[in-house]
Chain A
Amino acid sequence: MKKHLLSFSAAAAIALGSLTLAGPLPALAQATATAVAPLDLVAPVAEYKIYVSKLTQQFVKDTKAFTDAVKAGDVEKAKALYAPTRVSYEKIEPIAELFSDLDVAIDSRADDHEKAEADPAFGGFHRIEYGLWEKNSTEGLTEYADKLQADVEELNSRIAGLTFPPEKVAGGAAVLMEEVAATKISGEENRYSLKDLWDFQANFDGSRKIFDLFKPLLVNEDEFIAKVNGNFDRVYVILAQYKDGDGFQDYDKLTEADRKVLAGAVNTLAEDLSTLRGKLGLD
């Protein structure tokens, strides 16, 4: 976090402030695919897999502590562990959500189910979140906790065996931003706990990781790289204002003005990063 802030000069902030954030640069509208040698993509994809694998292992550990707290009936501890546990998952979402059954089991929202919160198929993090914050209780959550832990371990083993599709990796940078732009910005994801800013930070980190891995392969793209970096810096600056200890304040603390700036930057990031696949010859 600090690293990004340090690299964010005041001059850049002013220059970016004058840009229209919610529109593509003219240069991006045309296909400017500078040929990237396909085999040059092997190393960044491999490095990304290692990044994801480490986070998945962390996720298994963190989920264990979280579900143990739930099962022990420790509401306060479970609440404290909820958001930090999810961080690993939110960083690796472009890969994690390739497994549709597990993504549903781990991270679906009440809206995805016919009877919403009352639907017996509604499980995973958000079902536990619902119990902890809405009911302020761990009652009836043990089976969801056990299932969540099993699903997270299954995710870890599937990711270990997965050959990462390069187009999903390169496309993942935009996918993360599109998700924030399209729905998460409304606060729908962590509607009971209001821990959305934790997720945002992780989504940005995961997206930027992908961008940083492929960035060195982009030639004659200085303008594109500067713009994307600028917008990442911009969202990090806003998030930093809402830091609270190791985490973040509740989502309802976010001012309308900051939410708009955030939405603008995220939209532009989603738009710009959606060209990354093409620039890398992976469309």
Chain B
Amino acid sequence: MASSPNGSGTKTPQSTPPQASPPSGRLTTLALVGGAVLVIAGGAAFYFASKKAVQPVPDDAVTVTITGKTCDPNDLTVPAGRRTFKIINNSDRTVEWEILDGVMVLEERENIAPGFSSILNARLEAGTYEITCGLLSNPRGRLVVTPSAESTDSARPPLTAFIGPLAEYKVYLALETSALGAAAADLAQAIRDGDIDRARQLYGPARALYRHIEPVAQRFVDLDSAINARADYLDRREADPAFTGFHRLEYGLFDQSSLTGLAPIADKLVADIATLEERLGTLQLQPERMADGANTLLTRVAGSFGSDGEERYSGTDLDSLVATLAGTAKIISLLNPLVVKADPAIAADAQAKLDAATARIEALRTPQGYPRFDALDAGQRAAIADDLRALAEATTRLNAAIGLE
């Protein structure tokens, strides 16, 4: 359980004097006897007494006094921005005071000993929050944060605002790439085992994992060519020795129905994915690359639906597209908290476009799965392409909304 008094505890005159920390020992009855409070207070006092530098309390600090079963005041309104609260514990128990956003703790001070006060600094955005006050059973208070000049600069978040989303995306890329490596290794094993049915089954899931990371992976030109190039881009098409990676395997498994020559291709794919994993591990991604990557990919996939598809031999373009949309959804969800603050309409539009594209594909799904690309008529393909272009444009507007252009 949390307990984090800041280094700014100050002692009020009526409090017990700092004393040496309590002796260790069996403290079973700690909470049950009157002396318990003193023991904890002593511990806290020992801690606080070690603090030499006491933070100055600004004049506009909001004072909250905790008395018995309530906080005074227990309904607060402050302007958005960096705010200081001085929490005074006038109850007879060690207490906590927290600002909650839903179930999440925004800021907290715990273990405020009786007779002590603690300073809490919080950077608050406009909204309504709950405050906890002492015992868990005590009624929660309310903190209303009103918009202020300090909160209107959110359209262009500072670079630090992107650390969290970029870190989360980095974790996503790492996990997906790791899974991709394992999936490719399984596929290579099935090919070495001469098991074409199993290899066919393993192809789709491996392919989907590459699709998840493609907004970033597509930027490594050499690897993307080796892993993902279509025969169209090569001089001798399917017969070209540079035709490697997923589509070469797809060609063997689904078009030629032959494993001949596929083992070295599969091994090379595994090796290329290992290299990709290393590069992604050290890559420092710029914030604009998330939405930009999604935009580039969606535009390309839209184009393929307007022509003859990307999964030429297996016809699994819709399966592949589902994975592309999952990767896109991750990016949108990570940028969403920033975009919502800057321009809620743009955030909602991106989600709506994603939902629309998803809904159209899901409507085509049967118990046997998604139809093959060649089973789609021209109108269906054009509609999907339109959805994807609209989604691509919406992702571009995400960057624009948060000043990443």
Contacts and interface: CB of A to CB of B under 8 A. Distances in A.
A187 B24 contact: yes
Q: Which 8 A-B pairs have the closest CB atoms?
A: A45-B167, A97-B2, A46-B170, A22-B50, A38-B159, A46-B167, A107-B1, A179-B3
B58 interface: no
B51 to A, nearest CB: 7
Contact of A183 (B40, B51, B158): B40
A24 B52 contact: yes
Interface string A92-114: 01000111111110011111111
Contacts of B164: 45, 163-166
Given A46-B170, A185-B21, A271-B51, A112 B44 contact: no
A267 B51 CA distance: 9
Contacts of B24: 186-187, 251-252, 254, 256, 259
Interface string B253-290: 00000000000000000000000000000001111000
A179 B160 contact: no
A164 B46 CA distance: 32
Contact of B44 (A42, A107, A183, A252): A183
A282 interface: yes
> Which residue among B25, B30, B164, B334 has the maximum number of chain A CB atoms within 10 Å of its CB?
B164
A38 B94 contact: no
Contact of B160 (A49, A104, A134, A282): A282
A82 B135 CA distance: 26
Interface string A168-190: 00000001001101111111110
Nearest to A29: B53
Contact of A134 (B28, B42, B334): B28
11 contacts: A39-B287, A100-B104, A113-B136, A114-B137, A182-B110, A184-B3, A194-B26, A256-B24, A267-B50, A271-B51, A274-B7
Contacts of A187: 24-25, 27
Interface in B270-328: 284-287
Contacts, number: 189
B250 interface: no
Contact of A97 (B42, B105, B337): B105
Interface string B88-122: 00000110001010011100001100000000000
A140 interface: no
Interface of B: 1-7, 21-28, 30-32, 36, 39-40, 42-44, 46-47, 50-53, 93-94, 98, 100, 103-105, 110-111, 132, 135-137, 158-160, 162-168, 170-171, 174, 284-287, 334, 337
Contacts of B22: 186
Given A108-B1, A166-B163, 4 more contacts: A98-B105, A99-B104, A99-B105, A191-B31
Main DSSP-derived SS at the A contact region: helix
Interface in A25-65: 29, 38-43, 45-46, 49-50, 53
A8 interface: no
Contacts of A183: 3, 40, 43-44, 94, 111
B262 to A, nearest CB: 34
Contacts of A107: 1
Contact of B167 (A42, A191, A259): A42
B150 to A, nearest CB: 15
B103 A99 contact: yes
> Which residue among B2, B25, B171 has the maximum number of chain A CB atoms within 10 Å of its CB?
B2
Contacts of A100: 98, 100, 103-105, 132
Contacts of B132: 100
A230 B285 CA distance: 35
A46 B174 contact: yes
A153 B105 CA distance: 19
